[in-house]
Amino acid sequence: MLLSMTGYGRAEAPFDAQRLSIEIRSVNHRFCEISARLPRLLATLEGRVRERIQAKLSRGKIYVTVSLDGPEGDDTRLRVNEAAATRYVQALRELKKKLDLAGDVELSTIVGLPEVLAWEAAEHSEDDLWQRTVAVLDRAIDDILDMKQREGANLSKDLLERVDAIETALRQVIDRVPAMLGSHRERLSTRLAEVAQDLEFNRNRLEIEMVLFIDRTDCTEECVRLNSHLDQFRQLVDAPEPAGRKLNFLLQEMNREANTIGSKAQDVSIAREVITIKEELERIREQVQNFE
């Protein structure tokens, strides 16, 4: 099944007091190029995110946006720096003694000093963060794959209709070839009869040239190869793996055969069918650029 290179997928899930959302967008590109944006908490997962996506999407310019929305709550806590508080108390008592001051150091004084109290994010292991993120990531990947498959199915239908049109035109060429060759033989035989009155011509050499001319205008082999390419094209369209690159290469071969048929067959009817074939091949080539 062919996959379109353009698509969009999204998934989200609760993440402590926040909400984790992942969006994946893909547009046409010759290779697989991934651009990822992650929040600071999940920044260490960027490599894993890229590998996961690349295992499922083979081509395209892919934009991945991972975000955490909502206030920070359960993942933060108030930390008391006991070592700093102890040093503050010791220093203040020494200062009180040196200045001969009365009273003791109050708690309200200590907690207001720098670095005694601080909010900090709760610690998460990378594996724990990955397990919570990958479930959402896989759903986003499935979502974009579903869209790419649906669009690919619609484009595949159009491709196969154009392949059928090429096959119809090719059948007209194949049916016309014997009549074309017969016409060439008849015209050459008439010409041979005319020059036979000239006693100085080399009849054997002329007959050899006639045979070579007939052979050069016979495009039967090219028609057979083009027909084989059409069958292979249909197989690639129905294949389970991505086939965009293979189809592009096969189209080059099909276009080469069509050009050869057009240049060899000196016949107006065949020339018209070759024009039709080349027009359909060009439309197919434009469509194939949209597939993985």
What pLDDT is stored for residue 163 in this prediction? 95
Q: What is the mean pLDDT of each run of 10 residues along the chain (292 residues)?
A: 90 90 93 92 93 92 92 65 86 81 79 79 80 95 94 91 95 85 67 60 59 66 92 91 88 93 83 93 91 86
What pLDDT is stored for residue 51 in this prediction? 94
DSSP sequence for 195-253: HTT-TTS-HHHHHHHHHHHHHHH--HHHHHHHHHHHHHHHHHHH-SS--HHHHHHHHHH
What pLDDT is stored for residue 215 in this prediction? 59
What pLDDT is stored for residue 177 in this prediction? 81
List 10's β-bridge partners, or say none: 23
What pLDDT is stored for residue 82 in this prediction? 86
What pLDDT is stored for residue 202 in this prediction? 57
Could you give all domains of the chain from N- to C-terminal order, each with its CATH number?
7-71+125-145 (3.30.230), 76-121 (no CATH), 149-288 (1.20.120)
Q: Return the closest-CA partner of residue 217 out of 187, 253, 193.
A: 187
For residues 220 and 227, what is the distance between their CA atoms, to the nearest angstrom?
Answer: 11
